[in-house]
Each structure stands twice: as structure tokens, then as C-alpha cells.
Amino acid sequence: MVGNSDFIFKRGKGTTLLIGCGALGREIIDLIKVNKWEHLDVTCLPAKLHHNPQLIPEAVREKIRTAGDCYEKIYVLYGDCGTGGLLDKVLEEEGDIERIAGPHCFSFFMGNDTFSNSAEDEITTFFLTDYFCRFFDKFVWEALGLDRHEDMLDMVFGNYTKLLFMPQVKDPELEIKAQEIASRLKLKYEYRFCGYGDFETSIKSLKQR
């Protein structure tokens, strides 16, 4: 299942390696296939690293070193993702490797400028992308122990007032699930189609040499 494990996707002609979060794996591969970007290979780290963001920088470093000199360019599809600047430090140490701009996937899917301008208004918003909607039970509900201690719900989500579903593709079944999640969390529901935002734009800019 894309997003839950380490994997590599090769088209056989790759000159650029994308190192991504497993929570973005499906979207990366869909964009590559649709746009026929044959110069891009992909390797992803497990999405579960987001539960321990301090592990992300060294995991990315290992991917970079494993790639060695096999690629002309390496591009990292991670925001800062809670690493407190440590990911950027690793990328600088490994040769000024570039990453997608933005603090996290919610920002670059929405568009970094749009997210930044609305950040103050959205401070009590719980964001849900396609991935986090699809795997909410395992990645959020069970990971936080709410399947065993549902009485902790108010403690965990009590400061949120709204759930914003910001899908990458239009999927009626996912929208229904997002509404159910909002109801379960006792949050107001809002739908805002975002598509791929700056995520697609950034990958598209990696033109084949």
C-alpha cells in the first residue's frame, strides 16, 4: 500500500530522484504517470515517520547517500514537517540539495502563499488531505490511542473547531468519509478542493536536462 512502506518507483530513464514522504507517494506517482515525466524516479520513506519527525532528517540523508552518483539531481518532497529546521540542515550538508518550499503538505497542496495568508484564521482547523482521509483510522485514530480511549477525544481535539477537507482528486467516497470523520471529531465540516497546488508546480519545474 503506497504510503505505508518504503518503496521505489523507477521508469528506467530517471535522471532526477525524488525523495518523498510516503503520505505523498500515490500523488507523486499519479502525476508522473499522467504527465509522462520519464526523467523522474521516486523513493519514499514511511509515512509513519511523521509520528517521530526528529527521525526524518537522518532518514532522508540515508536515501541521499544510497543514491550516490546515480542521478544528476536529487529533489526532496518534504516540507519542514516538524523537524525544526534540521531537515534543511541535512540537505545543506549533503550538497545544498533542494526541497519543495513550505512547512508541510497542507501548505503546498493549498498553495504556500494562500496557506500563509490564511494561517492565522485557520489556527483551530484540523486539515485533511486525501491520504490522511483515506488512512485516518490507522494513521490518526489508532496512532493516538482513540480506538482504546475514546474518552480522550476532547483532550486531543478540544482546541479544534473545524475540519477542512482539502482533496487532491474529486472522489465522492472520500468526501463522505471526510464528513464522517468531522462528525466523529465533533468538528464543523468544510470542503475546499485544492488539487495538487504548489506540489505539482514544483515537480513540473524539474525539467529533464
User: Tell me: the pLDDT tens digits for 63-81?
Assistant: 999 998 889 999 999 999 9
Q: What integer pLDDT is reported at residue 14 of this predicted model? A: 78
Q: What integer pLDDT is reported at residue 56 of this predicted model? A: 98
Q: What integer pLDDT is reported at residue 137 of this predicted model? A: 96
- Rounded Cα distance between 66 and 64, Å, is 5
CA atoms within 13 A on the CB side of 77: 35
Outline which parts of the chain fall under CATH 3.40.50: 7-106+196-204
In this predicted model, what pLDDT tens digit does every residue of 128-184 receive, in sequence order? 999 999 999 999 999 999 999 989 999 999 999 999 999 999 999 999 999 999 999
Q: What integer pLDDT is reported at residue 208 of this predicted model? A: 62
Residues 6+ apart with CB under 8 A from 141: 147
Confidence bin at 185 (pLDDT 50/70/90): very high
Which of the pair, 1 or 67, is modelled with greater confidence?
Answer: 67
Burial 172-186 (b: 16+ CB within 10 A, else e): eebbebbeebbebbe
pLDDT average, residue stretch 17-39 = 94
Q: What integer pLDDT is reported at residue 10 of this predicted model? A: 60
pLDDT average, residue stretch 193-207 = 94
In this predicted model, what pLDDT tens digit does every residue of 92-105 receive, in sequence order? 999 989 999 999 99
Asked if residues 167 and 133 have their Cβ atoms less than 8 Å apart, the reply is yes
Confidence bin at 16 (pLDDT 50/70/90): very high
- Rounded Cα distance between 181 and 148, Å, is 17
Instruction: Check whether 7 has a pLDDT greater than 70.
Output: no
Task: Give me the CATH code for the 7-106+196-204 domain, please.
Answer: 3.40.50
**In the chain, what is the straight-line distance between the N-terminal and C-terminal CA atoms, in Å?**
32
Distances (CA, A) of 44 to 8, 75, 78, 166: 7, 12, 10, 22
Confidence bin at 4 (pLDDT 50/70/90): very low
Confidence bin at 207 (pLDDT 50/70/90): confident
Confidence bin at 12 (pLDDT 50/70/90): low
Mean pLDDT of the chain: 92
